[in-house]
Amino acid sequence: MKLEGHRLTKSYGAFRALDAASFSTGDEARVVALLGPSGGGKSTLLRVLGGLLLPESGEVRLDGEALPHEPAAALATLRCNGFVFQGYNLFAHLSLQENIALPLREVHGLAVVEAEARACELLERLGLVDHRHKRPAELSGGQQQRGAIARALAPRPRLLLLDEPTSALDPVMTGEVLDVVRELAEQGQQIVLATHEISFARRVADWVVFLAGGRVLESCEAPAFFQAPATAAAREYLGGLSKYR
C-alpha cells in the first residue's frame, strides 16, 4: 500500500494534536509503524487514517485515492477498516464469540449462521476457541486483546489499525499479542501500528512515520530509521527507549 498524509491538522480545543502533518510511505509498504513520544500525535493520526476522526484540514490518500472527509462518506471508510484500541473495548455483557458476531450481523449484514461461522474461524485462528463462551471479565488481558483483534479482522478489513495494543499488558501477555500481529503481517494483512514497542516495530514494520509535537519529523523505510535516524529528536527517542532494555 501507499499511504499519504498532506498537511493534516486536528485540534482538541486549544491543543493541536496534528499540526500540518505530512508524510508519504513507499508504494509497497505493508506494515507502517507510527512512532514518537507520548502526546506526539500517533493515536490522532491513526484515527484520521482510519476514518474514525475527521481532520480540520489536509488530505489522506490510500493507494492514490483521496479518503473522504464528509461524515457520511467517512463512515463507509471506517467500516472498511479494523480498529484495535488500548482498552480492548469489548462489550462486557456479551460472550467473546458474540462480541465478534454481533457487528458482523448488525453492521455488515451477515446472516446469523455466517457471522457465527466467521467468529469461530477467527477464534480458532487466534487460539481462543475454548474461551468463546466466556465474557471479557473471565479472560486475561492478553486474551481480551486477541479477542479485540479477532473482532477487528472479522469483516476482512482493508487496513488493520492498532493503537498501542500492548500498553496495558504484562511481558507474557505482550508476547502473545505481538506474536499474533507478526503472524498477520507475514500473511499479508496491511497494518498501521502506533506503538512504543521498538523491538517489535523493528521486526515487523517495513516503514516508519516518526511524530513529535503533532508534526511528522521522519518518514522512511524502517531499516534506515532504526540504523541511522535523520533527526536529533528521533535519535533521542530511540536512545531513551533502549537505555534500560
Q: List the domain boundaries for the chain.
A: 3-80+158-242, 90-157
Mark 36-48 as b/e (b = at least 16 C-beta within 10 Å): bbeebbbbbbbbb
pLDDT at 243: 56
Query: What is the residue-level pLDDT of the chain in tens, covering all 245 positions?
Result: 999 999 999 999 999 999 999 999 999 899 999 999 999 999 999 999 988 899 999 999 999 999 887 887 877 877 889 999 887 889 999 999 999 999 999 999 999 999 999 999 999 999 999 999 999 999 998 899 999 999 999 999 999 999 998 887 888 888 888 888 889 988 889 999 999 889 889 988 999 999 999 999 999 999 999 999 999 999 999 987 655 55
pLDDT at 70: 81
- The listed CATH number (3.40.50.300, 3.30.70.100, 2.40.50.140, 3.40.50.1950) that belongs to domain 3-80+158-242: 3.40.50.300
- Among 3, 4, 13, 2, residue whose Cα is nearest residue 56: 13
pLDDT at 242: 58
Q: CA-CA distance, 131 to 195, in Å (whole number)? A: 27
Element containing residue 7 per DSSP (H, E): strand 3-12
Q: How many Cα atoms within 13 Å fall on the side-chain side of residue 31?
A: 22
pLDDT at 178: 85
- Among 144, 157, 54, residue whose Cα is nearest residue 103: 157
- Tell me how crowded residue 26 is: count the other CB atoms within 10 A of its CB: 15
Residue whose cell numbers read 464528509: 70
pTM: 0.92
pLDDT at 199: 86
